[in-house]
Structure 1
Amino acid sequence: MRILVIPDIHGRTGWVPVVNNFLAGAQAADRVVFLGDYNDSFTVPDAVMLDNFIDVLLLKQQEPERVVLLLGNHCVPYLLLPRFQCSGFRPTLAPALHILFKHHRHLFQVAYQAGPYLFTHAGVSEMWLKENGLAIRVLCEMPATVDNLPAVLNKLLTTEEGQRRLWQVSGYNGGRDRVDGPLWVRPAHLRRGLLPGIIQVVGHTPLPGISWDVKEATQTGVVFTDCHDRQPTEYLTLELPG
């Protein structure tokens, strides 16, 4: 099984030939995982950004099993308009994006897992899980464990309180919460609270290149993939057995 990871595109179209080439030679078990943040850019025009997002939606509809669309912190404000907002928000596109996200809500999820790899937009820190442990158990009727973490995160998206927990923003990112949720946590805090037995694959924080911080012996760590500000042609492809 191969997995092609597409980090935050923010209106950029460079993913199109990369994904098309991958899918042309892909098997049924192979996956393309988008890590969210399809919109919000300080340089890409509205029309280009909107057309690009529609192309993402069409791709998912054409390849529903092989394409996974995750939500990022620049997606939720449009999906749940007007509850949340962050930098780069486009008021001019908000009505159209809200309709598209709302109508195609079933195409998106917060988390996806394949083998030891957990895919989210920013990452799941141990600190966030501890802070929200009781609430998660109540909202999802089960504790968050290594085996069921994607299901728990995706279920949180179905309630207003769960959405608030996912959106938590600490002072480090300009918010007022004690910890950062899976849409906001940054590398410094994620590294301090890694989940044992899980290799997290995240975007969200621009870096000079793809960065691995993984202990293979324990299958614990994180891979940071959001490098397209500086390395627009660098994409992560994972090879999993089976």
Structure 2
Amino acid sequence: MATSNQKTLVVGDMHLKEELILGRVDAAVSQMDIERVVFCGDYTDEWHSNRLTTLDALDMLVAWVRRRRRQGMEIDLVLGNHDMQYLRRAPGPGTHVDLYDEVANALATLGVQVATIAGNCLVTHAGVTRAWADRHLELNDTYDVCDVCQVLNAMWGRGGEDDFAALESAGPGRGGFEIPGPLWADQSELYQDPLPGIHQIVGHSPVESIDLWQIPSEDGCHTAAKLVFCDTFGLTRDLTPIGDGSMLFVEGKSVEPVTSDSLGLDPWSVASWEWMSTCVLPFL
């Protein structure tokens, strides 16, 4: 059972770069005495990916999680919008429709969920806005991080059509017409309408480095809290890195970046190019 004071490593969206990223996770686990790892979703789909690269990456993730869990480490994996497309058997951005079954089976094996807690922060893929919470959580305007996490996972566990539709609703920031949900909310939408009083850690929106934003309370509307964005592994269409490959260390109320330099690793730009040269480009 997770505790708020566990030394926790939070890892952003992997998008089939498991081979590269898990090595960096292992380095952090070894050097920082990490007790728990939380992944922020989107284990699938990357520019120019194919059947081979998809299945190889997911096989590697499943094997890594199984090994670490056997060693006694707690591993939590939250669900991303790309992952949801496979579970729903619905095409989306980058979805390999011929791999619905294989990807869905891998995600079931991993035990994905919608939300978890790291330290005193709610962790979801894209974040929970006030408007979405008011519409779907039915918590009477009193938001507690444990209650919110429990209700989100209960929606996932019920597996009803209305629950799934609510979880994956997309707002204008991501080309939708609904209230942005916890699998699709854009960074801008979370900035504009954060869930009051709840610290949140999310992936989904690519950032150059770990981005911590303090919600102002002086406006009389918000309650002071922080939003932490950690999707730093993203690539552009031409496979140029967007972020610096940093991860997030959480212990109690403390959150701080874990950089390549602090781990003594090659910069993400160098490591990702070497990985692409051997693991991606030859198969295009």
Same fold per superposition (TM over 0.5): yes
Amino acid at match of 2:248: L
1:205 and 2:205 matched: yes
1:70 matched to 2:78? The reply is: yes
4+ runs deviating over 4 angstroms: 215-219
Query: How far does the alpha carbon of each residue in 1:96-152 deviate from its partner, in whole angstroms, 9 at most, with x for none?
Result: 2133334x26x1111011332111000011111112245x89xxxxx8643311111
Give 1:145-160 correspondences, 5 Å limit.
145-158=144-157, 159-160=159-160
- The residue number in structure 1 matching 2:61 is 56
Q: Secondary structure of the residue that 2:8 maps to in structure 1?
A: strand
Task: Give 1:91 shift.
Answer: 2.0
**Number of the residue aligned with 2:11:** 6
Cα distance, 1:26 vs. partner?
6.0
2:13 touches 2:231 (CA, 8 Å); kept in 1?
yes
Alignment partners' CA distance in 1, 2:144 and 2:251: 24
| TM-fit CA distance, 1:206 | 1.0
2:91 maps to which of 82, 85, 88: 85
Match of 2:28 in 1: 22
Aligned-residue sequence identity (percent) comes to 28
Query: Is this contact kept in 1: 2:50–2:96, CA < 8 A?
Result: no
SS in 1 for 2:82: coil
The corresponding residue for 2:171 is: 170
Aligned to 1:140: none
Indicate the SS of the match to 1:75: helix
1:3 and 1:115 mapped to 2: Cα distance? 8
Match of 1:108 in 2: 112
Question: How far did residue 94 of structure 1 move?
Answer: 2.6
Distance 2:87 2:145 in 1: 28
For 1:114 and 1:41, locate their aligned partners in 2 and report how far apart those are by CA, in whole Å. 27
Are the aligned partners of 2:78 and 2:113 in contact in 1 as well (CA < 8 Å)? yes
Superposition deviation, residue 25 in structure 1: 5.0
TM-score where L is the length of structure 1: 0.84
Aligned CA-pair RMSD: 2.6
- Compute the displacement of 1:61 (Å): 2.2
Report if the CA contact (8 A) 1:133-1:144 is conserved.
Answer: no
Answer whether contact 2:130 2:194 (CA < 8 A) is retained.
yes
Greater Rg over alpha carbons, structure: 2
Consecutive unaligned residues in structure 2, runs of 5 or more: 1-5, 218-222, 235-241, 255-284
Q: Is the 8 Å Cα contact of residues 169 and 176 (structure 1) preserved in structure 2? A: yes
* Cα pair distance change 1:241/1:206, threshold 3 Å: closer
Point out the structure with the larger helix share: 2
Give the distance between the partners of 1:144 and 1:62, measured in 2 at CA: 36
Q: Is the 8 A contact 1:37 1:72 kept in 2?
A: yes
Number of residues of Structure 1 aligned to a counterpart in Structure 2: 230
Query: Aligned pair 1:238/2:250, yes or no?
Result: yes
Distance 1:10 1:232 in 2: 15
Shift in alpha-carbon separation, 1:51–1:168, aligned structure 2, 3 A:
same
